[in-house]
Structure 1
């Protein structure tokens, strides 16, 4: 009798060392924004160095695009100044501006710009879903 294998053990050798970033919990406005927000983002944790690469990857920017992110210093007090991501380095700036509280701003050298509402990582799923949906309209 052959021993049974778990799904993880049955994976091919090529898949054994492959890591795929989880898709970000993100909603972007369809078309042109009619308000101060371009959408909303619900990170899984408060570690920007873990969350930003998948957020930036979801924007489908050209490889090597310079990206600057501005975050609320009160919400991200331990934010690093730079974050490594596939295709480049993300520069992180912290601000204490009340105007930017609970938001993240992404600026690219391609003149693309997004302002996203940040739903706190610990928010209840139903509340987070409502905020994501509302910001996407």
Structure 2
């Protein structure tokens, strides 16, 4: 199983996001076990994830992860459209931007960096909107209030 393309904020996040995940495909049952397996075991057992139905239209209700089953909750909310909420045993909840699998590598790298910046004030939908509008680079992220990619 290949390692997931994941970047988390160092320590505790103070923004709307705790990092970003760039899955290789839109099959949650294939991608989620690798994501869960790459997270530090000290965070506790991941018991549930919430994903947007638009991004994961064929998501199952449960996904097998190493040693346990993860409940998958679907949401139609705008905030969840491009995010995954991971409920962990000891650290609570993490909100991760989900970079679309077909995103070009350069744009995905900018999104991974921006979403994991502890000073990032932007939500998942806003970060993706900036990327889709073709705006990138330090000036764009700073104009939106973030420290931006470095």
TM-score, normalised to structure 2, is 0.73
Aligned match of 2:27 in 43, 47, 51?
A: 47
Aligned to 1:3: none
Aligned to 2:142: none
Aligned to 1:129: 109
Aligned match of 1:82 in 62, 66, 89?
A: 62
* 2:41 is aligned with 1:61: yes
1:8-47 superposed matches below 5 A: 21-47=1-27
* 2:75 is aligned with 1:95: yes
Shift of 1:136: 1.4
In structure 2, runs of 5+ residues without a counterpart are: 118-150
In structure 1, runs of 5+ residues without a counterpart are: 1-20
Q: Which runs of 4+ in 1 moved over 3 A?
A: none
Q: Which has the larger Rg? A: 1
